[in-house]
């Protein structure tokens, strides 16, 4: 693809798809253009068209992804459709004769079985991708790129904190937003709150722990939000608060504290990583990173405001979507010579931890990762 303009198509131009469109516009000088979108919802199509026109980008609009694929217009596709559609769309992309590189939004799929789908297709998503070595598939676990998180990852990877023993992630935020056709109100569409939302945090825990998860214990419920809502006579079943404990192969443990009725918080995410020699913390959106060594005590704690000069558009996710695209574009131009920042296996494991957590709440017991991987929940 060299230095020629890389042509993008966006499948699903709701809130996140349009966010990708705006991010890609800010990457225009890197040689990218969004040339097509696919979405069955006329208001989403129109909003994407309005944006593209304001960017002076001619845009082909399709109502389905298959027409977009067959148009042959695109080199790269962004899949930003509701979670339950990711599997089928990915399989169609992977089975298409034309090579399309893909950035698929998190969660990779809503179930482990879908991530490794057999179903009506001949191949599982991951196997299908393996048989298409010409196609690069990155999963949109973009929290890794958020400047304070990326800085904390650097501190941990440099060994500053010693061997990581505990990773605590607190997300205290506002309730789920309203989505097109309210798809996010039901576990069957989103995979459940701990898959949909928290795959980001399970992915980070695994990165910080530097090991794979073994088993998960969770407690959670729908206690405050969405209780007075009804869609076709059905009340939402998505939990709005939970504690989740994750144990890793190397003995590290992680804890997630999720509350979705906590608008009265200064930060939305607070991350703490403690190793045998020091502790690091990251705060979003304050963008503060702190770290200190046991031997130096409280007086030795250092702090910085994390920034990344490469970011030309902060958008809804503190510049992480911009950096995600920048990195993916570079991997595409490197034609496979550069490892993807987030691959399909990362996507699968982050879903598996979320699925195990959802199941743990349902069963009231520890659930092993082996269990969800083998039974393919």
Ligand X SMILES: NC(=O)c1ccc[n+]([C@@H]2O[C@H](COP(=O)([O-])OP(=O)(O)OC[C@H]3O[C@@H](n4cnc5c(N)ncnc54)[C@H](O)[C@@H]3O)[C@@H](O)[C@H]2O)c1
Nearest to ligand X by Cβ — which residue?
14
Sign of CA dihedral 174, 178, 179, 181: positive
Q: Please, which residue, 42 or 251, has the CB nearer to ligand X?
A: 42
- 142 near ligand X, judged by CB under 6 A: yes
339 token code pair: 């490892």
Interface residue with ligand X, options 82, 213, 220, 292 (CB under 6 A): 82
Interface residue with ligand X, options 26, 65, 101, 117 (CB under 6 A): 65
- 14 near ligand X, judged by CB under 6 A: yes
Exposure class string for 312-327: b at 16+ Cβ within 10 A, else e: ebeeebbbbbbbbbbb
Helix axes 199-209, 147-157, angle to 10 degrees: 20
Interface residue with ligand X, options 15, 49, 168, 331 (CB under 6 A): 15
Q: Calculate ∠ Cα 353-86-178, nearest 5°.
A: 85
Closest separation in Å from C-beta 293 to ligand X: 33
Please enumerate in sequence order all residues whose Cβ is within 8 A of that of 205, keeping only pairs 6 or more positions apart, or say none: 167, 169, 213, 246, 248, 254, 256, 353
Q: Please, which residue, 15 or 166, has the CB nearer to ligand X?
A: 15
- 140 near ligand X, judged by CB under 6 A: yes
- 290 near ligand X, judged by CB under 6 A: no
- 236 near ligand X, judged by CB under 6 A: no
**How many other C-beta atoms lie within 10 A of the C-beta of residue 177?**
7
Helix (H) or strand (E) holding 126: helix 125-130
Residue 361: beta bridge partners?
A: none
Interface residue with ligand X, options 80, 111, 138, 327 (CB under 6 A): 80
- 278 near ligand X, judged by CB under 6 A: no
Q: Please, which residue, 12 or 254, has the CB nearer to ligand X?
A: 12
Q: Please, which residue, 11 or 326, has the CB nearer to ligand X?
A: 11
Q: 3-class SS at 328?
A: helix
Q: Please, which residue, 160 or 182, has the CB nearer to ligand X?
A: 182
Interface residues for ligand X in 192-231 (CB under 6 A)?
196
Closest separation in Å from C-beta 111 to ligand X: 14
- 17 near ligand X, judged by CB under 6 A: yes
Q: What is the DSSP string of 224-288?
A: STTTT--BTTB------EEEEEEEETTS-EEEEEEESS--S-S-SEEEEEEESSEEEEEEETTTE
Interface residue with ligand X, options 22, 73, 180, 245 (CB under 6 A): 180
129 token code pair: 């991708």
In 3D space, the residue among 105, 103, 70, 62 whose CA is nearest the CA of residue 199 turns out to be: 105
- 350 near ligand X, judged by CB under 6 A: no
Q: Which residues bind ligand X (CB under 6 A)?
A: 11-17, 38-41, 44, 65, 80-83, 85, 105-106, 140, 142, 179-180, 183, 196, 317
């Amino acid at each position: 693809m060299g230095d020629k303009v890389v042509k993008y198509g966006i499948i699903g131009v709701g809130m996140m798809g349009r966010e990708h469109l705006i991010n890609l516009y800010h990457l225009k000088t890197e040689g990218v253009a969004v040339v097509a979108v696919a979405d069955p919802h006329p208001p989403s199509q129109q909003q994407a068209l309005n944006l593209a026109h304001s960017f002076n980008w001619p845009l082909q609009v399709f109502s389905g992804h298959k027409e977009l694929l067959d148009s042959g217009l695109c080199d790269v596709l962004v899949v930003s459709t509701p979670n339950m559609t990711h599997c089928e769309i990915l399989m169609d992309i992977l089975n298409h004769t034309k090579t399309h590189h893909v950035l698929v939004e998190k969660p990779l799929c809503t179930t482990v079985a879908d991530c490794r789908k057999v179903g009506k297709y001949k191949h599982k998503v991951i196997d299908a991708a393996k048989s298409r070595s010409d196609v690069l598939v990155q999963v949109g676990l973009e929290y890794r790129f958020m400047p304070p998180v990326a800085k904390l990852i650097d501190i941990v990877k440099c060994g500053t904190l010693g061997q990581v023993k505990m990773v605590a992630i607190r997300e205290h935020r506002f309730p789920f937003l309203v989505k097109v056709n309210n798809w996010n109100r039901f576990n069957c569409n989103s995979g459940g709150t701990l898959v949909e939302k928290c795959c980001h945090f399970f992915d980070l825990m695994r990165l910080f722990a530097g090991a794979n998860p073994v088993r998960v214990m969770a407690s959670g419920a729908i206690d405050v939000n969405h209780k007075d809502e009804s869609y076709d006579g059905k009340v939402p079943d998505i939990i709005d608060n939970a504690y989740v404990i994750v144990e890793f192969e190397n003995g590290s443990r992680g804890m997630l504290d999720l509350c979705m009725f906590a608008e009265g918080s200064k930060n939305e995410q607070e991350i703490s990583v403690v190793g045998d020699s020091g502790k690091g913390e990251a705060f979003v959106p304050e963008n503060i990173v702190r770290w200190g060594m046991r031997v130096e005590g409280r007086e030795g704690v250092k702090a910085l405001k994390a920034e990344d000069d490469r970011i030309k558009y902060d958008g809804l996710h503190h510049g992480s979507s911009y950096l995600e695209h920048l990195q993916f574009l570079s991997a595409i131009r490197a034609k496979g010579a550069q490892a993807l920042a987030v691959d399909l296996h990362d996507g699968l494991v982050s879903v598996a931890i979320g699925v195990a957590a959802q199941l743990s709440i349902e069963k009231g017991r520890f659930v092993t990762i082996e269990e969800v991987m083998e039974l393919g929940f």
